[in-house]
Every structure is written in structure tokens, then in C-alpha cells.
């Protein structure tokens, strides 16, 4: 029997095994991460409790992974690849919630450093207008106090700003 794509339809007569759910090393990724090892442990626990003859969910809650924000994954990849490493930007990003008032730190974030110019991301264009009009001086003073005169200008841009305090 074939489906519309011309591929053979899956045979549902055989029962799935733990090996169908486990993560194995591949040529691209030769070693499993600790997260992968923990996932494989949960797969084993799931299949230890499976009752023969009953169906298994395609995405069992016992082995479902926690969701991660895409921005976090990108930041991890950039750090791992050591792309765009900038000590001033890293220093500011770590201190951002401490050097600015909480309401301002929630809607802004240091995004980019380019030769003495700090680009600060703001959540929306309306927020950008408000921050530029009312809080730009506060940001400039706080940044200069934190990293010194290495910052010549602060420019505001619209960028996604993740929530702080996860």
C-alpha cells in the first residue's frame, strides 16, 4: 500500500521499541550531551512501564523536552562558536538589569557594539520613541558609569527584548 507521495505506508502491526525513541551518536554529533543522556534515561523508564498491547503516544509526555526560547538557542550557538565576542557588550548585558531602573531594563537591551557606539534594542517603535524622548540620557549616563568613556554614543534600534528574571 502506498500513500499519495508514492512512499510505502508505515506498517503499524509491529510495536515500537525504546530504540525508536532513543538518541544515538551520529557522524555530525559523535558524543551525546548530558541532556541527551537524560532523555535516553527517560525513554528507558517509559518503556519499563509500557503495557504490552497498548499504543504509545507519538510524543509521550514522559520524554517530552522543555521548550527553549529561540533567542536563547541562538545566543548559545553564538557563544559556542565565539562569534562577535565583545567584552564591553558582555559586561553591559550582564549588568543591564542592575544599572537601569527595572521598568527601563524590561524594554531595552544592549544589542550591538560598533567602535564606541552602543546599539540598544527596544521592544517596539512606540517604546523606542518614548525611551528616546524620556530616558536616553539616563541610559547614556548609566552605561558610561558602568563601562567608562569607551561608549561615545548610544543609539536606539527596534529589536526583540527577552523578558528578564526567568
CATH code, domain carrying 135: 3.30.300.180
**Same domain, yes or no, for 112 and 140?**
yes
CB 128 within 8 A of CB 156: yes
Task: Give the residue ranges of DSSP H helices in 61-118.
Answer: 70-81, 87-99, 102-107
pLDDT band at 3 (very low <50, low <70, confident <90, very high): very low
> Which domain does 152 fall in, by range?
85-158
**Residue 134 binned pLDDT confidence (cut-offs 50, 70, 90):** very high
In a domain, 12, yes or no: no
**Are residues 96 and 135 part of one domain?**
yes
Same domain, 106 and 59: no
What distance in Å separates the CA atoms of residue 101 and residue 133, rounded to the nearest whole number?
16
Cα 145 to Cα 149: distance, rounded to the nearest angstrom: 8
Number of Cα atoms under 13 Å in the Cβ half of residue 153: 8
Say whether both 91 and 46 belong to one domain.
no
Q: What percent of the chain has pLDDT over 70?
A: 86
Residue 102 placed within a domain: yes
Domain boundary among 32, 66, 100: 66
What pLDDT score was predicted for residue 50? 82
Taking the model in full, what pTM does it have?
0.49
Residue 21, pLDDT > 80, answer yes
What is the rounded average pLDDT of the residues 23-32? 86
At 37-82, the pLDDT tens digits run: 999 999 998 888 888 777 777 778 888 888 888 878 887 887 788 7
* Start-to-end C-alpha separation, the chain: 50
Q: Are residues 153 and 109 in the same domain?
A: yes
Q: Are both 93 and 53 inside the same structural domain?
A: no
Kindly report the backbone phi and psi dihedral angles of residue 153, in degrees, each rounded to the nearest multiple of 5, phi listed first: -140, 150
Domain co-membership, 23 together with 60: yes
Q: Is the pLDDT of residue 138 over 50?
A: yes
Number of compact structural domains in the chain: 2
Both 98 and 141 in one domain: the answer is yes
113 strand-pairing partners: 118
Confidence at 6, pLDDT banded by 50, 70, 90:
very low
Instruction: Give 146's contacts (C-beta < 8 A, 6+ positions apart).
Output: 91, 92, 95, 99
Q: Which of 23-27, 73-77, 94-98 is the least confident region?
A: 73-77
Asked whether residue 90 is domain-assigned, the answer is: yes
Is residue 9 scored above 90 in pLDDT?
no
Amino acid at each position: 500500500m502506498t500513500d499519495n507521495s508514492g512512499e510505502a505506508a508505515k506498517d503499524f502491526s509491529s510495536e515500537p521499541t525504546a530504540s525508536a525513541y532513543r538518541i544515538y551518536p551520529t557522524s555530525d554529533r559523535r558524543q551525546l550531551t548530558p541532556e541527551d543522556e537524560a532523555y535516553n534515561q527517560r525513554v528507558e523508564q517509559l518503556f519499563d512501564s509500557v503495557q504490552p498491547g497498548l499504543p504509545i503516544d507519538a510524543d509521550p509526555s514522559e520524554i517530552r523536552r522543555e521548550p527553549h526560547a529561540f533567542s536563547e538557542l541562538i545566543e548559545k550557538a553564538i557563544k559556542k562558536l565565539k562569534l562577535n565576542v565583545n567584552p564591553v557588550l558582555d559586561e553591559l548585558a550582564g549588568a543591564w538589569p542592575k544599572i537601569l531602573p527595572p521598568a527601563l531594563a524590561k524594554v531595552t537591551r544592549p544589542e550591538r557594539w560598533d567602535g564606541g557606539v552602543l546599539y540598544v534594542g527596544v521592544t517596539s517603535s512606540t517604546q523606542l520613541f518614548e525611551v528616546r524622548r524620556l530616558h536616553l540620557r539616563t541610559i547614556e549616563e548609566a552605561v558610561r558609569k558602568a563601562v567608562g568613556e569607551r561608549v561615545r554614543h548610544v543609539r536606539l534600534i527596534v529589536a526583540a527584548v527577552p523578558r528578564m528574571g526567568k
